[in-house]
Structure 1
Amino acid sequence: MVGVDEAGRGACAGPLVVAACALGPKLHPALENLDDSKKLTERTREQLFPAITRIARAWCIVEIPAWEVDSLGVHVANIEGMRRAVAGLALSPGYVLTDGFRVPGLPAPSLPVIGGDASAACIAAASVLAKVSRDRTMVAMDTELPGYGFAAHKGYSTAAHTAAMAALGPSREHRMSYANVAAARLMQRDPVRSAVDEVGEMHTAEVRAG
């Protein structure tokens, strides 16, 4: 049985990371804390990562870069990442469990499991592999592209991230098809419009305050 899950679907920068993981029928004691990666602390995820890679019968992690997410669209990119991750396993799965939606084109029958990352150990393991791998990528990206705060927000939309894009413009690792990134890119290309918008916002604020 193989579980598949992704990390970074909702981010506006950085890759979409997909992992596939095959576990044995009985949960190993070292994985007793295994759960949906979003429910685990960073420390617990980091502790589980080497345990999963050691205990799993097979595992594979795939990164879909930002430009490919833009080219395919995030949902299609997600499906393609799942196909690549399963294809990259060192075994042929009997069944593939996915978190919440059906994935066509897999080399084995698949079953979507609602809330699967919290109820199926193999999906939970895949979610941890994907999340830890992506977080590490974003920390490294913060060194390569300083100023955006990637190590802190991991490419998700936050006030600090939005402010950084406004000041620096989107980087090569941003997803240009996302509305907030496209808006920041437009403002960098048209600073006059940006200044006019700021004046308009200030004027509106003054009128409302009065």
Structure 2
Amino acid sequence: MLTPPRTLLRRDGGLYSLERALRRRGFDVVAGADEAGRGACAGPLVAAAAVLAPGPAGEIEGLNDSKLLTPAARERVYQAVIRQALAYAVVVIPPAEVDARGLHVCNLAAMRRALAGLRPAPDYVLTDGFGVDGLGVPGLAVWKGDQVAACVAAASVIAKVSRDRIMVELDTEHPGYGFADHKGYVTAEHAAAMAARGPCPQHRYSYVNVAAAAATWAERLTPGGGPATGEGTVGVALQAHGLSPSSVGEDVAMEGGGR
């Protein structure tokens, strides 16, 4: 990818210094992209992109890497980002699509879709940890980008809060797994729930722990062919959260806003 001429940044320059430096180089619209749910074994993968306004209008009180914020703080920052951002977009990839296409492929595709949905379109893109090609504009992968660049931190908050809300809703649709608490990540309670009930359609069957739980559950099937207890299902089922089954290449499962 193309990069601007070398620019020196002070370590104490703050969360907005990288975007300020890029604007000084002529990149007026700097977008950040991040995801939530890579490490989860249940629920969707959610990618988000955001563009913050230059100057004080784009400074978000309390903005930081979403993982470093309490749930209450994340909600406050999320509301501020949605209110103050020049543009943002969210793309949701259902778990069966992750199973079918692979996590990294889905992650890159979701980020591309989120960035493509931004209006105004970005002149430069910052991503967290790894680069995303095929954007048509210069970009830079930033190590711990959600702690270094404000637009990436904003995207991380949008992705995290959006996904957490989905998992709370899925908890009511698939009770007994604790989705509202662990948000689909691997915990002892989650493993115990899968062992007791079998995986549900919102689990990622390509993940080793889910596949193992599904195999164990299959061995417990009654002679009649149905599960002995619970709502578990064996195999991969596509049940997108409020969405029609679709490929990440299609313009679906996306929301956003802009000013």
TM > 0.5 between the two? yes
- 1:191 deviation in Å? 2.6
Which secondary structure does the structure 1 equivalent of 2:141 belong to? Answer: strand
Which of 141, 159, 167 in structure 2 is aligned with 1:138?
A: 167
Which of 73, 77, 81 in structure 2 is aligned with 1:48?
A: 77
Distance 2:90 2:99 in 1: 20
Identify, as 1 or 2, the structure richer in helix.
1
Spell out, residue by residue over 1:46-77, the C-alpha distance to the aligned partner (whole angstroms, 9 max, x if none).
01111111111100011111011111111111
Q: Which residue of 1 aligns with 2:235?
A: none
Distance 1:128 1:107 in 2: 25
Q: How many residues align?
A: 192
Which of 198, 201, 207 in structure 2 is aligned with 1:172?
A: 201
TM-score by length of 2: 0.72
Q: 1:96 and 1:130, CA in 2 relative to 1: closer, same or farther beyond 3 A?
A: same
- 1:86 deviation in Å? 0.6
Gaps of 5+ in 1: 193-210
Which secondary structure does the structure 1 equivalent of 2:32 belong to? Answer: strand
Gaps of 5+ in 2: 1-29, 222-259
Q: Which residue of 1 aligns with 2:48?
A: 19
- 1:89 deviation in Å? 1.2
RMSD value over aligned CA atoms?
1.3
Distance 1:27 1:34 in 2: 13
Conserved 8 A contact 2:38-2:45: yes
- 1:25 deviation in Å? 2.4
Spell out, residue by residue over 1:12-46, the C-alpha distance to the aligned partner (whole angstroms, 9 max, x if none).
00000000000122254861210000000100110
Conserved 8 A contact 2:61-2:77: no
Distance 1:29 1:191 in 2: 56
TM-score by length of 1: 0.88
Which secondary structure does the structure 2 equivalent of 1:170 belong to? Answer: coil
The reply to whether residue 113 of structure 1 matches residue 161 of structure 2 is no
